[in-house]
Amino acid sequence: MKRNEVDRNKLSPMMVQYLDIKLNYEDAILFFRIGDFYEMFFEDAELASRELELTLTGKSCGLESRVPMCGVPHHAYLPYLEKLVEKGYKVAICEQLTDPNQKGMVERGVIQVVTKGTLMESSSLDEKSNNYIGSIYDFSHCYAISYADISTGEVNTELINYDTEKLINEIIRLDIKELIVNDLVDRKIINTLRENYSILITISSSLLDDDTYSYIYDGITDVRVVNSIKHLLYYLTDTKKGNLTHLQKVNIIDKNKYLELDVHSKRNLELVETLRLKERTYSLLWLLDKTKTAMGSRLLKRWIENPLVDKKQIERRYDFISKLLTEFILKEELRELLNNVYDLERLSGRISYGNLNARDLIQLKNSLSTLPHIKRILEELEYDRTLEVLDDLYELLDKSINEDAPVTIKEGNIIKKGYSKELDELKSLSSGGKDFILKLEQEERERTGIKNLKVGFNKVFGYYIEISNGQKDLIKDEYNYTRKQTLSNCERYVTPKLKEKEDLILNSDEKSIQLEYELFIQIRDIVRGYIPKIQNISNIISEVDVLLSLAVVSESNNYVRPTIVNDRCIYIKDARHPVVEKVANFTYVPNDIMMDNKTNILLITGPNMSGKSTFMRTLALTIIMAQMGSFVPCKECKIPIFDKIFTRIGASDDLVSGESTFMVEMKEANNAVSNATENSLILFDELGRGTATYDGMSLARSILEYVHNKVKCKTLFSTHYHELTILEQELRNLKNVHVSALEENGTITFLHKVKMGPVDRSYGIHVASLVGLPKEIIDRATEILDIYENPKNKKEVYKQTSLNLDMAEEKHDVIKEKLKEVDILKITPLEALNILDELKKEINEN
């Protein structure tokens, strides 16, 4: 049954109310509060029952047929909500706004719409990553992106050139979970982000005209930036419908302040997740993250993704790490204190929005209690930022909130004794009344002689005296008992004295619970005024936490402080890949990475699996770590400041967009050579292998020449095209290096050591033998390789009986002609195997 199929005139008033509210939230699943449940009806019920595996029932609403219905308990709705949101649905929470015990229709309204980007309290919300919701505003000549994490209050914005690919790459790089786009944005962009990257997208051009949040963009003169922020704010205020004043003043992203890493480099270098499993484990972030707080972990992730280019700021971080490494006792004491600091950023969000509970305030109090000790240590370490301790707020929370307060805020037991005289009097009255009930029970047993007499209570009948059927004949008129309820095994009575005390007790209980709730709200509102100070504290604590983490990692892994130089020389002694050396089950072999002013390109040759890619990644990760302010894994490091890093590593199809390996190669190569400057770093690993040998080799050489002559940036270029090594004689700023290997008795040992000069031969067949290819293939490949390397042996080899060449002379001549067409000096071992395979197939067919 569909909503548009029903006759509204026949519906019950409550269902008419549901339909009226649902009209405004067509794109959301409506959680409609009825008593203790959130109910869903019609299409929403059918969808939710399928996605949540709930029983689909029906509800009689005045129609001949029951309308589809399912529901979830309101006190345990969060897991169901999270599941729907994770699947990409919007959920509108419709609450009862008036007391359901009062006569008449209960007033209801949507209090918030929950989406991927607007989650604030959820077990599925990754505490170590930001949860960004963003806006794309198309101005027809450029794009503006504004994005915020409403769980922490962080707000950012940036302008992007009118380039579709750059826009999409930036959205993916930022890992934005949800987008609002204005109606000028190209539908191809929307479809790509929706279908290929599962980003929830809403099309809306509305701007917020309320001045409540004008402080976020106050002082910004660029109307494009202001409108972009207002575009995002309209959606946030429209969906959350609560107080969002914890949102901070916008941070305008200046790309020139950071080392630029595009989405490909972020992935290829495995900065925050691995390429294969898309997991944090074994990424650079995994290695460096020894933080104690969730907000510190999130900041570390941002540092890794946005290394600095300001030498002064980088050196500032080095200085504090150096201080921590010398003051190791203070360092350990400080780390221990950070264990007691909760996620102040997200606590601020809940305080502002109003969805916090008493335990959140206890977490805040416990965090504040450690601040004086942290401040003392930071002063001893000569840290250059001042930490405010908020003693007055701590005292307020300490004297007001019970340490064992419940999760809910409407059940009482939140406020400490002594905080409110009125509350204490009500609780005393309630407690005294309950003592009276116990005393009354004993007195009535003695007065009546009925030993099993009980005084009980339920919400329907209140307090009562219960007497079993076997004892009820003992009741006399003089006891003044009035029958209240008859049960199968007993009778329940009341007395004037009991009724009088009942009114007193119940009223005091209700009044004390209501007063506790009101006092809690007052305390919350007082705490809300401290949010800017709490956020400033969280900024300091998270930075200290990250620097402590980097110091711990540096100390345990023998990292050294880099030296930032002003020339374009790279001098890294015994460089190590930080992750590989940590997880390798073999002795790691360090390598020197040396590039003086006259060397811009290192052309790297060597066998597969010998370590060429690791060598290249080592340089990139060393630069990223150095420019984010970390010490680095080597014995000595002198490097300049880089402005951009571009990588082309790995050979995989882009299955999402349907592009081949070679197309992906060329697009990434084009991005690098088009955007790199003299101060950039380019890593090209096996560029050109995605196409035919001659095409690939020609493109590789052409790109190398272009980078050498035009771009002139530092470049590492690994290749199996040994013919390219001759370029060292033609390009004065290019040098050959190779990763050495040792061949003994037909086996190969990788030395993982990078040496000057080109490799003297290929070891492709030896590598193939290492992975266990059948011996017949290896032996035959060796024979074919011998043909290519020694043409005079060709006739003798091709009379091998193993190929069964006893066939018609005509066929023999065809094979000979095909072999003549092969240029044995310009094919790889893999191509040799392919030729062999084709010849065998042709022979077998005859």
Tens of pLDDT, residue by residue over 189-218, are 999 999 999 999 999 999 999 899 999 999
For residue 404, pLDDT over 80 is answered with yes
Quote the distance between the C-alpha of residue 741 and its chain's center.
41
Quote the distance between the C-alpha of residue 761 and its chain's center.
45
For residue 510, pLDDT over 90 is answered with no
Read off the tokens for 297: 């972990």
For residue 654, pLDDT over 50 is answered with no
Strand 482-486 to 734-744 pairing: unpaired
> What mean pLDDT comes out for the span 503-507?
77
Order of strands across the sheet that contains 714-718: 260-261, 644-648, 681-685, 714-718, 601-605, 734-744, 747-756
> What mean pLDDT comes out for the span 524-534?
96
Can you give the pTM of this predicted structure?
A: 0.83
Residue type, 89: Y
How far is CA 559 from each of CA 43, 549, 569, rounded to the nearest angstrom?
60, 13, 20
Q: Is the pLDDT higher at 677 or at 812?
A: 677
Q: Is the pLDDT higher at 429 or at 313?
A: 313
Q: How many CB atoms lie within 10 A of CB 503?
A: 12
What confidence score (pLDDT) does residue 43 get?
95
For residue 386, pLDDT over 80 is answered with yes
> What mean pLDDT comes out for the span 571-578?
97
For residue 746, pLDDT over 60 is answered with no
Q: Look over the chain and give the mean of its residue pLDDT values, rounded to a whole number.
A: 88
What confidence score (pLDDT) does residue 785 get?
62
Q: Is the pLDDT higher at 93 or at 436?
A: 93
Q: Enter the DSSP assignment of 86.
A: H
What confidence score (pLDDT) does residue 800 get?
38
Q: What is the DSSP string of 452-516?
A: T-EEEEETTTEEEEEEETTTGGG--GGG--EEEEE-SSEEEEE-HHHHHHHHHHHHHHHHHHHHH
> What mean pLDDT comes out for the span 408-421?
90
Tens of pLDDT, residue by residue over 604-644, are 988 777 788 999 999 999 999 999 999 999 999 999 999 99
Read off the tokens for 618: 């080592």
> What mean pLDDT comes out for the span 777-784?
68
- Taking the alpha carbons at both ends of the chain, their separation in whole angstroms is 67
Read off the tokens for 342: 């909760």
481 closest CA partner among 468, 465, 458: 465
**Max avg pLDDT among 437-446, 475-484, 573-582:** 573-582
For residue 115, pLDDT over 80 is answered with yes
What confidence score (pLDDT) does residue 795 get?
43
For residue 283, pLDDT over 50 is answered with yes
What confidence score (pLDDT) does residue 433 get?
67
* Rg of the chain (C-alpha set): 37
For residue 762, pLDDT over 70 is answered with no
HSE-CB at 424 with a 13 A cutoff on CA atoms is 7
Q: Is the pLDDT higher at 271 or at 62?
A: 271
Strand 601-605 to 734-744 pairing: parallel
What confidence score (pLDDT) does residue 544 get?
98
Q: How far is the C-alpha of 282 from the C-alpha of 729, rounded, in Å?
A: 40
15 closest CA partner among 83, 97, 108: 108
- The C-alpha angle with vertex 271 and arms to 640 and 673, in degrees rounded to 5, equals 55
- Please, where are the H alpha helices in 273-327? 284-288, 294-305, 311-326
526 closest CA partner among 670, 688, 399: 399
H or E element at residue 228: helix 223-240
Q: Annotate 513-536 with three-state secondary structure.
A: HHHHHHHHHHHHHHHHCCHHHHHH
What confidence score (pLDDT) does residue 804 get?
45
What confidence score (pLDDT) does residue 477 get?
87
- The burial class, CB within 10 Å (0-12 / 13-18 / 19+), for 347 is buried
> What mean pLDDT comes out for the span 59-88?
91
% of the chain surpassing 90 pLDDT: 64
Residue 787 phi, psi dihedral angles, 5° rounding: -60, -45
Residue 792 phi, psi dihedral angles, 5° rounding: -65, -15
- The C-alpha angle with vertex 760 and arms to 757 and 761, in degrees rounded to 5, equals 140
**Max avg pLDDT among 259-263, 303-307, 435-439, 763-767:** 303-307
Q: How many helices and strands, by DSSP H and E, does the chain display?
A: 26, 27
Q: Which residue has the tokens 């484990």?
A: 281
What confidence score (pLDDT) does residue 750 get?
67
Q: What is the DSSP string of 650-677?
A: ----BTTTTB-HHHHHHHHHHHHHHH--
Contact 495, 465 (CB under 8 A): yes
For residue 422, pLDDT over 50 is answered with yes
Q: How far is the C-alpha of 515 from the C-alpha of 507, rounded, in Å?
A: 12
For residue 443, pLDDT over 70 is answered with yes
Order of strands across the sheet that contains 28-34: 57-59, 67-73, 37-41, 28-34, 90-96, 108-114
669 closest CA partner among 686, 655, 656, 654: 686
CA dihedral 338, 578, 588, 633 (to 10 degrees): -90
What confidence score (pLDDT) does residue 118 get?
94
> What mean pLDDT comes out for the span 553-573?
97
What confidence score (pLDDT) does residue 335 get?
97
Read off the tokens for 6: 């029903």
Of the listed ranges 10-24, 92-106, 236-250, 797-811, the least confidently predicted one is 797-811
Q: Name the pLDDT band for 660 (thresholds 50, 70, 90).
A: low
Q: Taking phi first (over 0 means left), then psi (-120 to 50 degrees means alpha), and beta for anything else, what does residue 542 get?
A: alpha
> What mean pLDDT comes out for the span 457-469?
86
Q: How far is the C-alpha of 789 from the C-alpha of 280, rounded, in Å?
A: 46
Tens of pLDDT, residue by residue over 533-560, are 999 999 999 999 999 999 999 999 999 9
88 closest CA partner among 61, 65, 117, 67: 117
Q: Is the pLDDT higher at 785 or at 506?
A: 506
Residue 433 phi, psi dihedral angles, 5° rounding: -65, -40
CA dihedral 253, 257, 263, 268 (to 10 degrees): -160
For residue 805, pLDDT over 60 is answered with no
How far is CA 329 from each of CA 297, 335, 420, rounded to the nearest angstrom?
23, 10, 44
Of the listed ranges 230-234, 492-496, 509-513, 829-833, the least confidently predicted one is 829-833
Cβ contacts of 548-551, under 8 Å, gap ≥ 24 = 548/290, 548/291, 548/292, 548/324, 548/331, 548/334, 548/335, 548/338, 549/288, 549/289, 549/290, 549/291, 549/296, 549/300, 550/288, 550/317, 550/321, 550/629, 550/630, 550/631, 551/321, 551/324, 551/325, 551/331
What confidence score (pLDDT) does residue 634 get?
97
For residue 142, pLDDT over 80 is answered with yes
Q: Enter the DSSP assignment of 34.
A: E
For residue 352, pLDDT over 70 is answered with yes
Helix, strand, coil tally for the chain in percent (to 5): 50, 20, 35
Read off the tokens for 648: 């082309």
- SS3 category, 307: coil
Contact 38, 77 (CB under 8 A): yes
159 closest CA partner among 178, 182, 136: 136
Q: How far is the C-alpha of 646 from the C-alpha of 682, rounded, in Å?
A: 5
- What are 546's strand-pairing partners? none
